[in-house]
Amino acid sequence: MNRAIPLLLIGLWFGAVSAHAQPTAPGVQEFETSGTPAAPVSRLDGQEGEKCLTCHEGIEEVSASHPMSLGCTVCHGGDGHAQDAESAHAPMIHDPDAGTGRRNPSGLKVAAKSCSQANCHGGHADASRNHLERVNKSLMGTLAGVISGLRYDWAAQSNPKALYGLNGVEDTDGQGPAEWGALTRLEALPFFTPRDLKAAREAGKSAAGRVSGSAADSLVRGRCAECHIDRPPAPGTYRSQGCAACHFAYAENGRYQGGDPTVPKDEAGHPAFHRMAAVPSSSLCTTCHRSQGGRANDVLPLGGEEPVPAFPGKGRSVEDVHLASGFDCVDCHTQEEIMGDGNIYSRQHEATDVTCETCHGDGRASPKLKAITGADDPAIRLSRHYAAGPNAVGDKMALTRRGRKMTNVKSKKGKIVTVGKLSGKEFKTPQIQKGYAAHRFGPHRGKLSCAACHSQWTPRCEGCHTTFLETARPGGNPWRPARFQMELETPVLMVGPRGTAVPMLPQARRTLTVLDQAKKPVAVIGREGDALGRYKDWTFTNPHGYSGANLASAVNPHSTGPARSCASCHLNPRALGVGAGDLVIGDHPKGRDDRMDPLVQTDRVRKNSDHSAEAVVTLRGERLAGSHQAGARPFNQKQISRILKVGNCIPCHDRYGDKIYWNLRKSYAFEKKIDHRKLRDKILKGHRTDE
């Protein structure tokens, strides 16, 4: 079995929607101090008369909900009465492990002293307003999906359910619904070696004492954690950490463009302005989610350079219809999905609450609606920062699959509309037509997700060869960086974790190079996947024996457009996961003699494999790829045979409305009769050009 090493294409959920803030905090007033006219003063922290603007005069007001009169030290800490910068900045709230100095008070380790202090975004009886507690339990806060997926694929744990987060976290409110996949706790991620643990303790970065000996834990800390909102970004990319990761925007070159004279304009690593975005734009989300946004066949380089087409002649992708219409990410994704709903989850599909049907209906029923009945409804509070203004009592809002009100999708004059949170634009939201054959087609209903037909492409990460360089420095990062490069492919389908057909994330061929301290290669695995050398205890197959490189992972690629053709599935073995090549149908009626001749014969010639390199399943339904998503799998033999069997009919019956598809059992019975053969021969004869 091929045991090449995976570098996971991580798809975490970034971008936050509006956060509650007190527009007028108690004890705040305008106050005159010497040397600074109308200097801000806060009585919230006992620092009346702070002198911060003596040096920082010209700095931008952070937001309307955080006015200058609130003061600086209430968020940043520090000594507002000090006469010199060193004394003033020494007690500022910051996370020293972030490596960004003292300028960010919103790192998740310290935000309880700033953003989440009482009467701000913490300390409320309404748990939905205690944002830090929610974020710490969210997938963005725990990185649980990435950790558990990689650990399972590399046999560091026996099942794919999350056991660890980057930091330990516990859900103590007793409201974690098990039917949604909610967990009660996560332990802190173990360390790879005792040396790693010792180095972390000496640096004051960890109190966790477990050592796993799994290379997966090393890779998470060394590479995957670059995507965590509380960690420094990958080299050459620019964003903040903690709350500011989603609420402060950076310029492409990472340089400050505002009016604070103390911030160097030629130094990278500063937000563009001292200005908070309550509702982040898509450009901020795609700082991390670089596979979204429709930038097809581009090399997406680090450091803000212009993207360069990776494969000249292939052009650009067809953009997702929502993005092309002017949607921002937050127009579809809710605050509960992004910042967390207070529960701990293992996987993204467990945390996702919005579906296509939430806004578009399902062809049998329109979206579920519920009216706002009181001024304290979250649908009003959360919409205060929207460009079109807040919702009102009486507005009928669309409901998510878990019965929560959307804050920007509503019924207006009998029509469903989506209101852009940032743009204020009102988008007509088309409804699935009840009489449209494609959406009431019996054989598809309940078996296909919307994304199975309407996704135009899936992203494949290329060029991510992973290198482990043994380092003599305790605590050093042994994992070398890789340049992000992406190509797009026509979606291959599989059964997703909710039991319906969905697009599958393409898996690039992955390899691992291990170098010693002299940068000389060290043998790790052989061509047949056998363990070699000093790293023989590293395991790269999951507990069920599937390669950690050949994965079947469900994905929603955010490439929604017109539906794919029937032939693209029913006449395309590649779309079913058996790989590209020639399908040879044998004589046995149950498909035992069927086979695939791979388009690329390299592995067959080398006797590595009889299957296509991209195959996740054989024609007989034998799985070749594992999945770390519970319930997800490639199609089985029955499904493959059924799908391909319909392909025989499509050349003549290429419309959903064709009556043969509405009773397939009767149609297949007729197909075996002489009358069908005569009819087929007559049709084919009429299309021949040589008679």
- DSSP codes joined into one string, 550-593: SB--B---S-B-SPPPSHHHHT-GGGGTS-SEEEE--S-TTSTT
Q: Note the Cα 604 to chain centre separation in Å.
A: 36
Q: Where are the domains of the chain?
A: 329-432, 659-691
Express as a percent the part of the chain with pLDDT over 90: 47
Q: Name, in order, each residue with C-beta under 8 angstroms of 31's C-beta and a sequence gap of 6 or more.
A: 39, 40, 41, 48, 49
Buried b (16+ CB within 10 A) or exposed e, 499-508: ebbbbbbbbb
Helix (H) or strand (E) holding 460: strand 458-462
At 393-412, the pLDDT tens digits run: 999 999 999 999 999 999 99
- The β-bridge partners of 169 are 186
pLDDT band at 587 (very low <50, low <70, confident <90, very high): low
Ramachandran sector of residue 151 (left: φ over 0; alpha: ψ -120 to 50; beta: rest): alpha
CA proximity to 319, closest of 292, 289, 340, 348: 292
Maximal C-alpha separation, the chain: 102
**Which has the higher per-residue pLDDT, 208 or 344?**
344
CA proximity to 299, closest of 458, 464, 457: 464
Average pLDDT value for residue range 109-132: 92
Q: Which of 70-84, 303-317, 593-607 has the highest mean pLDDT?
A: 70-84
pTM assigned to the model: 0.84
Which of 89-103, 192-206, 395-409, 623-637 is the least confident region? 192-206
pLDDT band at 447 (very low <50, low <70, confident <90, very high): very high
Average pLDDT value for residue range 532-551: 74
Gap between the Cα atoms of 214 and 231, Å rounded = 22
pLDDT for res 37: 30
Q: Which two tokens stand for residue 111?
A: 């935000």
pLDDT band at 464 (very low <50, low <70, confident <90, very high): low
Phi then psi for residue 623, to 5 deg, are -70, 135
Helix (H) or strand (E) holding 596: strand 595-598
- As to burial, measured by CB atoms within 10 angstroms (0-12 exposed, 13-18 middle, 19+ buried), residue 292 is buried
Gap between the Cα atoms of 135 and 229, Å rounded = 10
pLDDT for res 49: 80
Q: For tokens 């420094």, what's the residue? A: 232
Phi then psi for residue 604, to 5 deg, are -70, -40
Phi then psi for residue 207, to 5 deg, are -115, -5
Gap between the Cα atoms of 21 and 70, Å rounded = 12
Gap between the Cα atoms of 643 and 328, Å rounded = 36
- How many alpha carbons lie under 13 Å from residue 632 in its C-beta half-sphere? 25
pLDDT for res 533: 52
| Contact (CB, 8 A) for 317 and 292 | no
Gap between the Cα atoms of 670 and 680, Å rounded = 12
- The β-bridge partners of 344 are 183
Sign of the torsion angle spanned by Cα atoms 95, 96, 99, 102:
positive
Q: Which two tokens stand for residue 222?
A: 């060394």
Whether 299 shows a pLDDT value over 60: the answer reads no
What rounded mean pLDDT belongs to the chain? Answer: 82
| Contact (CB, 8 A) for 493 and 575 | yes
| Contact (CB, 8 A) for 68 and 75 | no
Whether 1 shows a pLDDT value over 60: the answer reads no
Average pLDDT value for residue range 166-187: 91
| Contact (CB, 8 A) for 106 and 114 | yes
Express as a percent the part of the chain with pLDDT over 70: 83
pLDDT for res 452: 96
Whether 162 shows a pLDDT value over 60: the answer reads yes
Which residue spans within 141-265 are E strands per DSSP? 164-165, 169-170, 185-188
Q: H helices of 259-347, where?
A: 282-285, 321-325, 335-339
**Which has the higher per-residue pLDDT, 554 or 302?**
554
Ramachandran sector of residue 218 (left: φ over 0; alpha: ψ -120 to 50; beta: rest): alpha
Gap between the Cα atoms of 372 and 376, Å rounded = 9
Q: Name, in order, each residue with C-beta under 8 angstroms of 185's C-beta and a sequence gap of 6 or more.
A: 168, 169, 170, 171, 344
| Contact (CB, 8 A) for 617 and 624 | yes
At 499-540, the pLDDT tens digits run: 999 999 987 666 677 887 788 877 665 554 454 555 656 777
